[in-house]
Amino acid sequence: MSPPDEKLALASFVQEEMIDGVQENLGQLLSMLPPIACLRLLAFLHLVEQPSTMKATFDVHPSGAMRLTLETAVAPCGCHRH
């Protein structure tokens, strides 16, 4: 049986490899999305990272259509303006 430290090192290595692969694939996927989809994704990530600065409204209509509306009073960083 492997010592606990060896298992932890292997798990850490596997985790790093998976993160690198996800980042590479996500970068390729994002480059294929239209600009509006990138902006929506950025707004959602902002909601997750700083929920106190966002107002989120989630509407579900009887037809099954859903709408998530995100609003903020915080001005975006210049690098995020499109």
Mean confidence (pLDDT) of the chain: 78
Question: What number is the average pLDDT over the span 49-78?
Answer: 83
The domains of the chain are located at: 1-32, 34-82
Cα–Cα distance for residue pair 68/38, rounded to 1 Å: 15
Residue 78, token pair as written in the block: 């210049």
Percent of the chain at pLDDT > 70 equals 76
CA distance 52 to 5: 39
With a CB cutoff of 8 Å and minimum separation 6, the contacts of 61 are 67
Across the range 57-71, mean pLDDT stands at 90
Cβ pair 42, 48 in contact under 8 A: no
The whole-number average pLDDT for the span 58-72 is 89
Q: Which amino acid is at 15?
A: Q
